[in-house]
Amino acid sequence: MKTRAVIVLTLIIFISSMGPGTASSGDTAPEEPLAPPAPITGLVIIDYDWSVTNIQRFLNATIYLTGNLTVASTGNLEFVNTTLALNISRNGQYKIKVDGKFTMADLDMDPSTQADASLIKSNNTAFKYFFQAVAGSSVFLYNSILRNCGYDGQSQGMTLSGTAILDGMLFQNNYFGLVAKSSNVMVLNSTFSGGYYGIYSYFCNPTLRNLTIIGSSVRGMYLYYSTPVLEDCVLLNNRVGLYLQNSEPRALRCNITGSQTAGISAWYSSPLLEDSWLSNIIDMEVRIGSFPRLLNTQFNESRVSVDLGYYASVGQHLKVAVVNSTGAPQPDITVAVLDEIGRASCRERV
């Protein structure tokens, strides 16, 4: 009886020792990815410096923060229909810094329904904070609102040095609405109101499309060593609409009106305006080293101020087709455009 018990025990040990050997062949089932954490809702009060090092999600929440917010390089912070209010008692007391990923959006992805917009603001409009997204960060803002950001020439406003997409945003009462320091910044379908500057582009070429900049007390848009394409932008009632320094932007279908000092002020800059409209006290200031080019653009020539020796070139689109008596196009024909005394100002083969 004892011998039989020993045999059974030996078999059990042998079988169990074979198990890991079979499983180690590499045919293990893949691990399931971890599901993202459930979003936090309701009222949240944070009375310390808040550091986000993993995924944190907020939905239909209101956060009162008395401290700095840092999204670490490993962090991923997401707001949906969420308000972040910073409890500030002096300018620059707290700041937001993004090294990782930050997303802010509304509930229905519809900019016309602002009741569900996410919002970042100061809890005291007299004092402002600083927002900085460094190189390597990712910022995605949709149909949301940014208020009370930036307070001086060093801490200017929302400063983006990484990758960013801003679509359907509303910027209100900021020192600078937006400071772009990366060509990977894309700003679409957004409105900037008030403040010193609407947009400041610094040594980069961001995408700027369908923007409205209203009522900036200094400059609606300031391009410094930047050559972006501006499409379908409205610069309205700013002190200076578009201020250029060492920049050569292309402006397509832009409307610059109501500027108190100048619609466009160019220094060492040669912008190209196409199919645009200028209506200001001074439509253009052409300063040293500048040669603006206007194509199919309406302006008042008596409202142009030009430094000695410089000029703005003005042209219109001209579409020409050469046909025979039956209306068939004729190839390889040279067409000349003559000035008022019959001189050929240009020749093109069509």
CA 37 to CA 275: how far, in whole Å?
50
23, burial (CB in 10 Å: exposed 0-12, middle 13-18, buried 19+): exposed
Same domain, residue pair 231 and 304: yes
Tell whether 69 and 119 lie within a shared domain: yes
The neighbour count for residue 209, using CB atoms within 10 Å, is: 18
Do 194 and 327 share a structural domain?
no
Contacts for 10 with CB less than 8 Å, ≥ 6 apart: none
Query: Is residue 138 situated within a structural domain?
Result: yes
pLDDT at position 285: 97
- Do 251 and 336 share a domain, yes or no? no
Full domain range(s) for residue 212: 40-315
User: In the chain, how many domains are there?
Assistant: 2
Tell me the two tokens of residue 219. Answer: 């400059």
What pLDDT was estimated at residue 85? 98
- pLDDT on residue 31: 66
Same domain (yes/no): 221, 129? yes
30 within some domain: no
Cα torsion 218, 118, 65, 100 to 10°: value is -90
Q: Evaluate whether residue 29 is within a structural domain.
A: no
**In this predicted structure, what is the pLDDT of residue 309?**
86
**Does 88 fall in a domain?**
yes
- Token pair of 203 as six digits: 């040594």
Per-residue model confidence as pLDDT tens digits over 276-326 = 999 999 999 999 999 999 999 999 989 999 998 888 899 764 455 666 667
Q: How far apart are CA 324 and CA 335, in angstroms?
A: 15
Asked if residue 350 and residue 299 are part of one domain, the reply reads no
Alpha-carbon torsion (20, 24, 25, 28), positive or negative: positive
CA distance 277 to 256: 6
What is the CB-side half-sphere exposure of residue 276 using CA atoms within 13 A? Answer: 28
Kindly report the backbone phi and psi dihedral angles of residue 23, in degrees, each rounded to the nearest multiple of 5, phi listed first.
-70, -20
Does residue 280 lie in a domain region? Answer: yes
Instruction: Say if 267 falls within a structural domain.
Output: yes
Q: Is 20 within a domain? A: no
Tokens of 85: 């209010």
17 three-class SS = helix
Residues 152/171, Cβ–Cβ less than 8 Å: no
Residues 157 and 261 in one domain: yes
Within 10 angstroms of residue 55's Cβ, the number of other Cβ atoms is 15
* Per-residue model confidence (pLDDT) at position 14: 38
Q: What is the pLDDT of residue 1?
A: 45
CATH of the domain at 220: 2.160.20.20
Residue 77, token pair as written in the block:
């912070």
273 and 260 housed in the same domain: yes
- The segments of the chain whose pLDDT lies below 50 read 1-25, 317-318, 340
In the beta sheet, which residues pair with residue 262?
Answer: 240
Q: Both 114 and 213 in a single domain?
A: yes
The token pair at 227 is 């050559």
Q: How many CB atoms lie within 10 A of CB 110?
A: 12
Q: Are residues 106 and 201 in the same domain?
A: yes
pTM (two decimals): 0.82
Pair 207, 349 in one domain: no
User: Does one domain contain both 211 and 225?
Assistant: yes
Residues 162, 206: Cα–Cα separation, whole Å: 11
Kindly state whether residue 17 falls inside one of the protein's structural domains.
no
C-alpha 77 chain-centroid distance: 19
